[in-house]
Amino acid sequence: MIDPEALELIASYPGPLDELVEGVIRGLESSTLVVGPLEIERCPCWSERAQGDGGSIHQRSPQPKLASPDRRSSSKLAEAHLLPSPSAPSSRLCPSLSSDQAKSEHLMSPPASDPFSSPQGSGPLAPVHLAGPELEGQALPPWLEEAGSRGPELSASVRPEVVSPLRSDCASGGPAIPALLEGLSDITGRSTCVGEYQDFVRYFRDRYSRIREMLLGRLNARPIESLKKDIAGREISIIGMVMDVRTSAKGNKVVELEDPTGMVTVIFTKGTPGSEELTGLVLDEVIGVTGTSDGKGRFFGKTLMRPDLQARSAIATGEGGALLLSDVHVGSTYFMEDAWERFIEWINGDVDDPLGIASKVKYAVIAGDLVDGIGIYPGQEADLSIKDVWEQYERAAELLNEIPDRIQIVLSPGNHDVVRQAEPQPALPDSLWSLFKNNVTFVGNPATFRLGGVDWLVYHGRSIDDLVLKIPGLSYGEPEKAMVEMLKRRHLSPIYGNRVSIAPEEEDLLVIRRPPAVLHCGHVHTIGMTRYKGVTAINSGTWQGQTDFQKKMNIQPTPAIVPYLDLSTMRARRLIFA
């Protein structure tokens, strides 16, 4: 596999490509799984030619000059696969538009009030881990365990909702539960992009301006272009998208920031307070920086600000109990059917349920990878018990149809499902709906909706792979921490163009606009729960045992454990069916 950054380096190589590729291959160790930038830079011909041109991984951007056209040509967007021609402009935010146009369209418009970022309360609230043992004095069957903790209660506020069209009106049985979802918002039926260059520009500008508005409530920022003027020495703030981060020889952090009017090099000198925030800086996130300009194109950063959620002392609550599921992987030889059958017996009240949880369940939300799919990874065929994807869905529907009709199921896709891979993904095709009972509602990935009186944000979680790789301190064992990093950056997939392919839709649906009550992800096959500033963040694990591939990658899944969330208290438990 080739890391996109490595591909970018290869594409920028000034010499014959054969020479570089042969050199890189010769230098590989037999255990290499992914060719990254280091493998490229290690190649002797790279150091001779590219390094000589000033192009090592940490220096491959041209020398910073405030928003000069040259400077813009260093954008990753330009060097990857997106450019129609080599001469096309390449910055993410200010490419073909003149800065005057840029100003009139985005930056100079008065800061619209952001209905999604209004403070919900005040006072800091430390993250509460929901997964401490708590048994309420009752014996449980060996396969059913629980854990939980309690947050302060607050009645759910009522707000007007847009009601989505009926998504599951082709039922094959069961009572007519209207599978309407209040306030549903996803990409289904709304995709407009064709993947042209201007689509990407529009996409990045949408991402930038939405997150900028969240930051504007907290700092008074000026356009990067204006730093050219004579304001050297005065403390000012800017808001930009991170185009490059590197550490200088002296240990300073050097960050290239872009807004629609230009680019600037921001230097955080070693020892700047908040340096742990700086180590977590990732490409393409939108941040605010306060500091001083030297008037010559450099900006000395003092503080970094993220569009983080406001601290909340209260949490929203609703009614009913919800099961959070994901990564069922029906059709995989590793799918744990025995455990699923135990789950089905429990939810149908066929086994002892000392806490009476099963009867309280009103909702089940599935965050993607319902089936294993086909052709998702090399050699997958050997891991499939059902080799036809439609038959996988038939079987998956049989399994979901065993869940009682009284439970409303919301089904969102993942990267193993049969919809486009690029995010945002639409709901499963309607040709599949008739397989399922009419208590299933099909939504896209990501999707926001209201269920049980609270706001949900469901996202499969593919970006967690990138976040774990790039942010120190994150690991697959604690996926909820990666979910907190999404909330801090107000984006479900802050890093553009690594594992996650993002379709450049008109609106960036991956921006976390309104903080939800529940953020539900999956994908990494490990369970995790936390509460962060009023948001209950849960990763729902998997029903697939450890695959050979995961064994090789040292990924330790936690299969057949279902998070149960009591929406009336926002208290979470883990139900273990393994």
Using CB under 6 A, list all residues that contact ligand D5M.
327, 369, 377, 415-416, 465, 523-525, 549-550, 553, 555
**95 forms part of the interface with Zn ion (CB under 5 A):** no
Shortest distance in whole angstroms from residue 368 CB to Fe ion:
7
Q: How many CB atoms lie within 10 A of CB 200?
A: 21
The tokens describing 369, both together, are 């990878």
Binding at 377: pick from Zn ion, Fe ion, ligand D5M, none (beta carbon under 5-8 Å per type): ligand D5M
The per-residue DSSP string of 192-219 comes to -----HHHHHHHHHHHHHHHHHHHHTT-
Shortest distance in whole angstroms from residue 523 CB to ligand D5M:
5
The per-residue DSSP string of 336-396 comes to -HHHHHHHHHHHTT-S--TT--GGGEEEEEEES--B--SSSSTTGGGGBSS--HHHHHHHH
Shortest distance in whole angstroms from residue 416 CB to Zn ion:
6
Shortest distance in whole angstroms from residue 327 CB to ligand D5M:
5
Would you say 294 or 548 has its CB closer to ligand D5M?
548
Q: Which of 237, 415, 438, 463 binds Zn ion (CB under 5 A)?
A: 415
Preceding omega of 446 cis (within 30 degrees of 0): yes
- DSSP H/E element including 13: none
**523 forms part of the interface with Zn ion (CB under 5 A):** yes
Residue span binding Zn ion (CB under 5 A) among the ranges 411-419, 435-443, 490-498, 570-578: 411-419
CA dist 372 and 392 (Å) reads 8
Q: Which of 240, 414, 479, 557 binds Zn ion (CB under 5 A)?
A: 414
Binding at 524: pick from Zn ion, Fe ion, ligand D5M, none (beta carbon under 5-8 Å per type): ligand D5M
For 549, the 3-state DSSP assignment is helix
Binding at 455: pick from Fe ion, ligand D5M, Zn ion, none (beta carbon under 5-8 Å per type): none
Shortest distance in whole angstroms from residue 523 CB to Zn ion:
4
Would you say 41 or 327 has its CB closer to Fe ion?
327
Residue span binding Zn ion (CB under 5 A) among the ranges 41-49, 89-97, 103-111, 521-529: 521-529
CA dist 184 and 347 (Å) reads 26
Q: What is the dihedral of CA 480, 481, 483, 484, to 10 degrees?
A: 120
In sequence order, the 6+-apart residues with CB closer than 8 A to the CB of 146 are 134, 135, 140, 355, 357, 564, 573, 574, 575
Closest by CA to 234, choosing from 290, 272, 296, is 290
CA dist 257 and 200 (Å) reads 18
Binding to Fe ion (CB under 5 A) within 363-382 occurs at 369
Shortest distance in whole angstroms from residue 524 CB to ligand D5M:
4
Q: Which of 3, 39, 259, 327 binds Fe ion (CB under 5 A)?
A: 327
48-55: long-range contacts (C-beta < 8 A, 24 or more apart)? 49/13, 49/14, 49/15, 50/9, 50/12, 50/13, 50/14, 50/15, 53/14, 55/9, 55/12, 55/14
**8 forms part of the interface with Fe ion (CB under 5 A):** no
Would you say 484 or 524 has its CB closer to Fe ion?
524
Would you say 106 or 523 has its CB closer to Zn ion?
523
Give phi and psi for 494, each to the nearest 5: -60, -35
Shortest distance in whole angstroms from residue 23 CB to ligand D5M:
25
Shortest distance in whole angstroms from residue 460 CB to Zn ion:
6
Binding at 225: pick from Fe ion, Zn ion, ligand D5M, none (beta carbon under 5-8 Å per type): none
The tokens describing 511, both together, are 């921006």
Would you say 307 or 414 has its CB closer to Zn ion?
414
* Bridge partner residues of 451 (DSSP): 454
**DSSP label of 319:** S
**446 forms part of the interface with Zn ion (CB under 5 A):** no
Residue span binding Zn ion (CB under 5 A) among the ranges 151-159, 231-239, 396-404, 407-415: 407-415
Would you say 230 or 381 has its CB closer to Fe ion?
381
CA dist 90 and 88 (Å) reads 6
Shortest distance in whole angstroms from residue 382 CB to ligand D5M:
14
Residue span binding Zn ion (CB under 5 A) among the ranges 61-69, 245-253, 362-370, 512-520: 362-370
Would you say 90 or 558 has its CB closer to ligand D5M?
558
What angle do the packed helices 4-11 and 17-27 form, to 10 degrees?
Answer: 140
Are 522 and 559 in contact by the 8 Å Cβ rule? The answer is no
Would you say 117 or 463 has its CB closer to ligand D5M?
463
Residue span binding Zn ion (CB under 5 A) among the ranges 28-36, 141-149, 241-249, 518-526: 518-526
Are 424 and 186 in contact by the 8 Å Cβ rule? The answer is yes
Binding at 154: pick from ligand D5M, Zn ion, Fe ion, none (beta carbon under 5-8 Å per type): none
Are 329 and 335 in contact by the 8 Å Cβ rule? The answer is yes
Binding at 210: pick from Fe ion, Zn ion, ligand D5M, none (beta carbon under 5-8 Å per type): none
Q: Give the interface with Fe ion as residue ranges (CB under 5 A).
A: 327, 369
Q: Give the interface with Zn ion as residue ranges (CB under 5 A).
A: 369, 414-415, 523
